Amino acid sequence: MARMNRGLRPIRLPLSFMPSMSQSTAPKTAARTGDISQESDLPGLAVFDFDGTLARGDSLLPFLARVAGGETLRRHLAGSVAGAASRRLPVRPGRRLPGRQRPPGEALVKGGHASDADDDFKTAFKRRLLRRCLAGVPLERAQEAAAEMGAWVRWHTPLRDALMRHADQGHRILVATGALTLYMPALLADLPVHDLLGTEMAVGEDGLLTGEMVAGNCVRAEKARRLALWMEETGPYGRRWGYGNQPSDLPFLALMDEATVVPTAH
């Protein structure tokens, strides 16, 4: 398989760099997945989401079950849901709290890191679950679990076929996903994928996972920001095709010339 990078480091783009849905043509559902026509001498680019698009289902829980064990995972799921649901969001500057004075700019987060305050529920849940399941796990153990993930994957055949057609025409293939870069290379090993953007986990100097995401959760608007920067660094490209499901992938699909919205594959 061609080289894949390990994901972008935490670089934030100005909001003006990413077009809003109101500034872009809304993604459309193609009549036939993978209809391909090249209109430029520049190389084409095809970007695929993974979970629920290129593959059926969600890959994170099967991976964590292989790392932590099924019973431990079920316990951590319950605790992570409760923690995410009880988090307290930031208080806007200048707003007074009953009963006390709040220092300017203070963010209140119940039972977690200050960074949790900016998380939506799904990311808050994921952040807590990763901490519970992966903190202190040797990197080698995680890599062994990743190697076992080949038995899990079930390809969404129409999208896998579309990927192969793009590859046959010489287009650059990028998978952009919220799934972890710990295991994604193992799942993509038999596909002609050139590059990977995903959620990267931090590893300490002792070789143990910290349980923390290096640059946040590579989903929704964050995925679009990373993709925009990646295209700026690696392009220019001719026509750009994108494949993802809604609503989570609409931000990155708005960056494409031709976007295919795929019903989530279970």
| Domains in the chain, CATH or no CATH each | 15-60+148-261 (3.40.50.1000), 68-136 (no CATH)
pLDDT tens digits for 99-121? 444 444 333 333 445 555 557 88
Is residue 121 helix, strand or coil? Answer: helix
pLDDT in tens, 179-219: 999 999 999 999 999 999 999 999 999 999 999 999 899 99
pLDDT at position 35: 53
pLDDT for res 82: 85
Range name among 105-109, 232-236, 250-254, 262-266 with the lowest pLDDT average:
105-109
Look at residues 159, 156, 166, 170 and name the one whose alpha carbon lies nearest to residue 58.
156
Q: Are 26 and 238 in contact (CB under 8 A)?
A: no
Q: Which residues of 152-164 are buried (b: 16+ CB within 10 A; e: fewer)?
A: bbebbeebeebbe
Six-digit token pair at 99?
Answer: 């009963």
Report the percentage of the chain scoring pLDDT > 70. 73
pLDDT of residue 9: 32
- Res 106: pLDDT: 37
Q: Is 55 within 8 Å of 156 (Cβ atoms)?
A: yes
